[in-house]
Structure 1
Amino acid sequence: MASRKLFSTRSVLCLKQSTRRISLSSYKCEEAVASQRDLRLSWDYAVEDAIKHVGYQSPFLKLGYMTTDKNVNWNKNIENLKNSGHPMYDTAKILLANGKANVNQMWGIVILLTSKLAGYPATNLWKEDDFDRNSGILKSQRKLAENVEFMTTGDDFHRDGVLNMQHFHKSGMNLDNDNLLIYGNKMAILAGDMLLGYASMEISKIRNYKVTALVAAFARDFAESTFIGDRDIQNNPLPSNPLEKLEVQKANPEIFEEVSSDQIDIMLPFKLHDVMGTAENEWKLRHTLGGASRLGKSCKAALILGKHDEEKQKEAYFIGKHMYLSYRAAKDLNIFRSDVLPASGKFSLISAPLLFHLEEDPSLYDEIRKGLESIDNINFAKIHEAVRNGPGMGKTRDLLSKNSLIAYTLLHKFPNSDCRRILENLMFSLES
């Protein structure tokens, strides 16, 4: 399958030392969008600014009405799981605390900002009723953003809220139907199905087959992300064994190079060959399938609805994709910036600093190997201490700079505007 890089990786790497200088010097003109102090905007402040600009109310306000229906009694059912140890309880609290969404809301905002950033070139094709009066954004684009958020949260329920009971006695088949573990699984599956079904129905009402095809493509990508690589019995992802890759690489050094996930035809499945076991390639593939594809394809779909040409659609796709990858790299860095473990005592074992560390120190994989049955058997404190003082941190900062630089470059292909300023501030908050 043909593939290409949108930008030369070597060029980006050469610029990585001066990424922040490039980012800052671009704004020293009269139209500068942010001062040095503004560049330290927190993520939350930047999100708040974005919400005000696009007038975005989380669709979870709608979900609030759905879940407070006396026939559903959502809150009571969730509280029944409080002391059960079922993952659905914590998942629901994180995703739907007080009727608000988690970071999933951010992606709906990015879709709307990208829509408004690009504008509406074919003004003669629109009627006044096609636009939201308060924000100046197409109603169809708003519907898309809201329901992408619903779909993302539905997938999160299925991924994080279901307890795999295969290792139980008789795989849990001997448990009563009213057992809380069975009950929690039913809630997680039905909650995810409800959100995915509702969102799919609403997106179909947009009546644009290209948009529907893009939504189907990112749903396929996400499904694929939950199967690739090694996993424990609860389907928690584990990094690939770096030693196996090193042996193959020693035998065939010429066939290994950075694999680009910036493909010519983004509707095709992503290339998996020669990826797993190579830190950056594996990280990019896992998180492109797991989220960057969704945001990128949604931004492209928004510009399809705005009647933009293919080139602008492609730029929107890569803005969304590389913003997501920048966010993931920043999130991975934050895990190891503190000398204290997260409150849960665990963290993602496919985070960028850990994958880069394994590439330099494969011996740490002996500890990860203990989690092949369950990640509960892994000494997370040992891994955390090794990684935060290892070479993976610097390489992850380079990874963040590389993806941020691509997103900045593409944003500057669009006219200077409040939308561009807000998207830039979101990116700056990740690097601060």
Structure 2
Amino acid sequence: MNVFFSRLPCIGLLNRGQRNIRFLTNTTTPSNWNKVVSDAEKIVGYPTSFMSMRCLLSDELSNVAMHVRKLVGTKHPLLNTARGFVYESRNNLQMRGLVVLLMSKAAGPSQHTTSDLISQDMVSGIYPSQRNLAEITELIHTAFLVHRGIVNLKEWTNSDGTLKDMQFGNKMAVLSGDFLLANACTGLAQLNNTKAVELISSAIGDLVQGIYHEMPNHLEDNSLGDDITMVTWEEQMFLSHGALLAKSCQAAMELAKHDKEAQGLAYKYGRHLSLGHKLNSELQPFIKSSSTDPVTFSLNSAPVIFHRQTVGQEKWHHQLQQAKTIGRQIDYTKLRSTIKLEDGVTSTMDLCHYHSSKALESIQSFPSSEARSALENIASAVTKF
């Protein structure tokens, strides 16, 4: 098997004007974060690299990887993603699948065990169907990451590479992303659970809608959405970053025949964990880098939205104009210094703590266990800035 797609990291792709989005990865304290994840992996029975996924061993995907090699030497973002699958896997862990497995183990078997569940042999307290769901969740996430690597050729310039390379890379991003998504849908059908299929299918729809709303936000100055509030931010971020995890956790409960209350708690954990990690990610440019380090961030990130609401639209636009260079480009280092003078960063931290506490609250009714403790550690880790 070709190694290009042998690992599935949670890294974003870089379109022109798009930020590198790293989700569910604590970049400030990697040693502590890696320990939390390593301990959690041992609890669920095997590491979350999901090397066992049948589609990753297929001849079709090996052929895709062979074609991706043709992009070597170009600047197409799909090649950077392929490299990340191999070289950055240690820092970009597949957290969605891990959380689904931990949630499955923490909840345990249901009181409403059916004959089809009795016939399944649990491994480390997790049903095979729940492990399959974890793999499906990772496949869907990776498929959308690959699709995000499509370059907008209307913004293409000679410095990006030859037009032929960009066109070929786009074709590979579409085909390989579709291949992963098709395999995920096939595996979803094999779960033989209508509600689980409905939940994950709706999560795919949420992802599409969320990414559609995100697209204008990658156009620098055109991304100044004055109408975007934190309510709007949360709605959009849930669609593009939280729905898949939340609904996968709920589907894991459904596969074990847990009642609606348990399913709702699992959904709540996935939702709040996702939003907490997204807030943590958007805080990094404001708290990690020094005042002299080059920096960039979305003008629709949570700290900026909080800042804009604090100072008002008129003052915000004045600050933005002052942060522009002679070439009308934004000096993000200067703009960051301005934003840090107000309460936008601290308000984002407070909201991050809120989502972490809500995630912790949602699993307190589950039996005390190593799996529940691991979920608690992961939820607490989002507040480590």
TM-score, normalization by structure 1: 0.71
Change (3 A) 1:237 1:126: farther
Query: Which deviations, in whole Å up to 9, do the C-alpha atoms of 1:44-77 show, x marking residues without a partner?
Result: 1111111111024446525698479598355554
Structure-to-structure mapping, 1:1-400, within 5 angstroms: 42-58=32-48, 60-62=50-52, 66=56, 69=59, 72-73=62-63, 77-94=67-84, 96-98=85-87, 100=89, 103=92, 105-121=94-110, 122-123=112-113, 125=115, 129-133=119-123, 135-159=124-148, 161-168=149-156, 179-228=164-213, 231=216, 238-241=223-226, 276-278=227-229, 280-340=230-290, 345-361=295-311, 362=313, 363-365=315-317, 377-400=329-352
Query: Which deviations, in whole Å up to 9, do the C-alpha atoms of 1:224-266 show, x marking residues without a partner?
Result: 112226716769993521xxxxxxxxxxxxxxxxxxxxxxxxx
Query: How far apart, CA to CA, are the structure 2 residues paired with 1:426 and 1:388?
Result: 27
Whether the aligned pair in 2 keeps the contact of 1:64 and 1:99 (CA below 8 Å) is no
Percent of paired sites with the same residue: 30
Whether the aligned pair in 2 keeps the contact of 1:60 and 1:99 (CA below 8 Å) is no
Query: How far apart, CA to CA, are the structure 1 residues paired with 2:294 and 2:146?
Result: 18
Which consecutive unaligned segments of at least 5 residues does structure 1 have?
1-38, 170-174, 242-275, 371-375
Whether the aligned pair in 2 keeps the contact of 1:329 and 1:396 (CA below 8 Å) is yes
Deviates more, 1:225-234 or 1:400-409: 225-234
2:44 counterpart letter in structure 1 = V
Aligned residues: 345
* Residue in structure 1 matched with residue 372 of structure 2 by the alignment: 420
Whether the aligned pair in 1 keeps the contact of 2:246 and 2:271 (CA below 8 Å) is yes
What is the deviation of 1:281? Answer: 0.7
Q: SS at the partner of 2:94?
A: helix
* Residue in structure 2 matched with residue 430 of structure 1 by the alignment: 382
Change (3 A) 1:86 1:43: same
1:108 counterpart letter in structure 2 = G
Change (3 A) 1:42 1:403: same
Whether the aligned pair in 2 keeps the contact of 1:367 and 1:378 (CA below 8 Å) is no
Query: How far apart, CA to CA, are the structure 1 residues paired with 2:293 and 2:120?
Result: 46
What is the deviation of 1:409? Answer: 1.3
Query: How far apart, CA to CA, are the structure 2 residues paired with 1:342 and 1:137?
Result: 49
Change (3 A) 1:41 1:351: same
Change (3 A) 1:120 1:180: same
Query: Which deviations, in whole Å up to 9, do the C-alpha atoms of 1:74-132 show, x marking residues without a partner?
Result: 555444434322222223323x1259487561011111111111111234645565134
In our comparison, the structure showing a higher alpha carbon Rg is 1
Which consecutive unaligned segments of at least 5 residues does structure 2 have?
1-28, 323-327
Change (3 A) 1:393 1:307: same
2:345 counterpart letter in structure 1 = M
Deviates more, 1:295-304 or 1:75-84: 75-84
Query: How far apart, CA to CA, are the structure 1 residues paired with 2:241 and 2:278?
Result: 9
What is the deviation of 1:398? Answer: 0.9
Query: How far apart, CA to CA, are the structure 2 residues paired with 1:124 and 1:210?
Result: 16
Query: How far apart, CA to CA, are the structure 1 residues paired with 2:207 and 2:107?
Result: 27
After TM superposition, the runs of 4+ consecutive aligned structure 1 residues lying more than 6 A away are 233-237, 341-344, 366-370
Query: How far apart, CA to CA, are the structure 2 residues paired with 1:328 and 1:75?
Result: 30
Query: How far apart, CA to CA, are the structure 1 residues paired with 2:86 and 2:249?
Result: 27
Query: How far apart, CA to CA, are the structure 2 residues paired with 1:199 and 1:350?
Result: 32
Change (3 A) 1:80 1:153: same
What is the deviation of 1:323? Answer: 1.0
Change (3 A) 1:430 1:230: closer
Q: SS at the partner of 1:136?
A: coil
Query: How far apart, CA to CA, are the structure 1 residues paired with 2:213 and 2:66?
Result: 36
2:33 counterpart letter in structure 1 = W
RMSD of aligned residue pairs (Cα, Å): 3.4
What is the deviation of 1:354? Answer: 1.6
Query: How far apart, CA to CA, are the structure 2 residues paired with 1:213 and 1:355?
Result: 34
TM-score, normalization by structure 2: 0.79
